[in-house]
Amino acid sequence: MTEMVFTPQDNARAFRDALGRFATGVTVITIDGPEGPMGFTANSFAAVSLDPPLVLWSPAKSSSRYPHYAAARHYAIHVLDRDHAGWLARFNRGGEGFHGLSHEINAEGVPVIHGALARFDCVQHATHEGGDHLIVVGRVLRAAHREGAPLVFAQGQYGGFVPGL
């Protein structure tokens, strides 16, 4: 097996392909938008700290929804189960969003979706410039989880995680 060595500045596609070798979970970030509930699919979720409880995610500045997410004081991060693949199109550009999707509003006024594998209700703690993305750090106010297998994104494709291999 041959290893490809390159500089990201000279080969952006190879850089994206290298990043794609790292499997990530898939999340939907929700906020109370100016015209009602909004959702945004993201795989840039990560834990930052246990004490205080901090997580991060990074919206792309090129997104039409970016200004709403950058300004949101409260948001919820929903970790998707592998059976939630249908939610991807719903929350991508041009998707139907919350139309017809069962949800509740939490104490901070944020829409929360039933059935997520895990959910983190957050208040914005800090933001940092991150090139073509904004790094949003949230302090977790509440968290919930259930049993299940996460939806995973790797090498440009979605799939399920099989434990115990």
In a domain, residue 10? The reply is: no
Q: Which two tokens stand for residue 123?
A: 């208040």
In a domain, residue 89? The reply is: yes
In a domain, residue 126? The reply is: yes
Looking at residue 104, its pLDDT comes to 95
Residues 6 or more apart whose CB falls under 8 angstroms from that of 15 comprise: 6, 8
Number of domains in the chain: 1
In a domain, residue 138? The reply is: yes
Convert the chain into a string of H (helix), E (strand) and C (coil): CCCCCCCCCCCHHHHHHHHCCCCEECEEEEEEECCEEEEEEECCCEEEECCCCEEEECCECCCCCHHHHHHCCEEEEEECEHHHCHHHHHHCCCCCCCCCCCEEECCCCCEEECCCCEEEEEEEEEEEEECCEEEEEEEEEEEEECCCCEEEEECCEEEECCCCC
pLDDT > 80? residue 5: no
Give the span between the Cα atoms of 60 and 131, in whole angstroms.
9
Looking at residue 165, its pLDDT comes to 66
Domain residues for 32?
27-155
Q: Which two tokens stand for residue 118?
A: 């895990």
**Per-residue pLDDT reduced to its tens digit, 108-144:** 999 999 899 999 999 999 999 999 999 999 999 999 9
In a domain, residue 123? The reply is: yes
Biggest CA pair distance of the chain: 53
Closest CA to 53 of 117, 109, 121: 121
Q: Give the mean pLDDT of the chain.
A: 91
Which CATH number covers residue 63? Answer: 2.30.110.10
> Could you tell me the pTM of the whole model?
0.91
Looking at residue 23, its pLDDT comes to 86
Residues 6 or more apart whose CB falls under 8 angstroms from that of 34 comprise: 68
Looking at residue 39, its pLDDT comes to 94
pLDDT > 90? residue 163: no
In a domain, residue 7? The reply is: no
Give mean pLDDT, residues 29-36.
94
**Per-residue pLDDT reduced to its tens digit, 68-115:** 999 999 999 999 999 888 888 899 888 899 998 899 999 999 999 989
Q: Which two tokens stand for residue 66?
A: 């970016």
